[in-house]
Amino acid sequence: MHYANIQKRFSFKTSFKLASCAGLVALGDFLFFDVPVGWTLGLFGLVLLLAVRCHSNPMGRRRATDIATLATLGLSLALIEMPTVETLVLYSFSIMTLALLPKLSRLDDARMLARSLLRYLFRGWIRLLMDGLMISHVLKRLQKRNGRKRSFVRHWLLPCVMSGIFVLLFAKANPIITQWLDKIEWYGLMQYLSFSRICFATAIALSSWALIRPKFKHPLKKAPSELKTKQPFTLTALLFNERSITTSLLLFNGLFLVQNLMDVAFLWSGTALPEGMTYASYAHQGAYPLIATALLAAAFVLIALKPGSATEQVSVIRNLVFAWVGQNIFLVLSSIIRTVGYIEEYSLTYLRVAALIWMVLVALGLVLIIARIRLRKTNLWLINANSMAMVATLYLCCFINVGGFIAWHNVTHASEVTQHGTPLDVGYLTRSIGVEAIPALLWFEHHYPHSGKLHAVQDARQSLAAELDDSMNDWRRWNFREFRIARAIASPTYRY
């Protein structure tokens, strides 16, 4: 290695990156090790974002870098507002995207971005180890070039060992030194060198260094001369021909028409169900299989009508596809109605909220399929559009108090309030929703003081209030959403 290149390795930038990584390790140890986690997760996210931006070079992608920075900043604030697993996962992918922006060859391919993120997620953590080996190699070359050895063992082992021996001898001979040594809390010092703490600090160091100094190999692209000119014979090419696709679409449209007419009869017009079947069972039994049906239909359309294929140019097939995708959209809407009816009959949960969001995204994806065919776009355009819709939805969910919404819905629609439906599940509000359910429970106590569930509601609310007080009294567990709840319910003008 040339001497100039060796010196370049140890520039100010490298030292600054090492110092930043050490600072992040110290901050992470102070904020998270063996202590509760709250708004401090967002604080660490802000500091990590600042470190990544300080050490990143946009390289002509300043606009994309600024957008990714703003998105990551918003997620950091969402972690301060209320730290959740979903927000933390989304923040992790956002900060990795920001770190990788200068390294990506193109930004208009969601598949390439996903592959790069996954490759970076599994390989980036060894970056610190590889750089450590490189630094060791460079140090040896520098020592060899300068003609002198700089060995820690050779220069420092003897002085340190002998000094320690002298200190022990002096302690035996001098009672004052003995008192000084006795005042040192050796057990407290050993806690800082515990195995779990070292592993925790190592994990932060590996993750931080991977973001500060991202580096990975791009997948090799074949030259145009290496690309195959002939399309290989596949099972897809054998089965998906013009006649088979036309026949399939005719049969599919007929089957979906029967199913949609049944949904119109039972879901939309309110026709009585067959004897022995309840509305809730009809709604719950068909919601998820119908979504799977819509996804299978979408996959069929993408395979059958590849951009530039012969089948895409046939007007009959295109019209049949439009009709079938329209029926799929109607099917998804029926699934949404089924799920809403089931929620009204029973109660709302996180899983059912996620199912409704997923159904809306599926319906949007079907609409985008029609747009892709009509506008003659590529499948890459479709993948990018669906990816943007999914990321935007997840991003918005980070700022919505879903738990509070579920609590209000379940309390106001419980059988103790509406005289029909399912009884109030206080245990679910306590275990799964947490302190975000306190306003809804207070509303129930105020408006239904003679209910049979009053004592259970009061016990749950008092338990959650104690948990809220503990969170507010611990500066690490504190978060902005719970602070707003505590301030609201403590206000004398609080309205139930």
Rounded CA separation 325/21 (Å): 52
pLDDT tens track for 71-125: 999 999 999 999 999 999 999 999 988 888 877 777 777 888 888 888 777 776 6
Contact present, 49 and 69 (Cβ < 8 Å): yes
Mean pLDDT lowest among 32-36, 281-285, 319-323, 379-383: 281-285
Runs of H (alpha helix) within 214-241:
235-239
Dmax (CA) of the chain: 103
pLDDT tens track for 56-67: 877 667 788 889
Radius of gyration of the chain (CA): 31
Q: Is 423 helix (H, G, I), strand (E, B) or coil?
A: coil
Contact present, 294 and 328 (Cβ < 8 Å): yes
Confidence band for 219, pLDDT divided at 50, 70 and 90? very low
pLDDT tens track for 142-186: 555 555 555 554 555 556 666 666 666 655 555 666 666 666 655
Q: Is 346 helix (H, G, I), strand (E, B) or coil?
A: coil
Contact present, 342 and 359 (Cβ < 8 Å): no
Of 242 and 276, the structure prediction assigns the larger pLDDT to 242
Mean residue pLDDT across the chain? 79
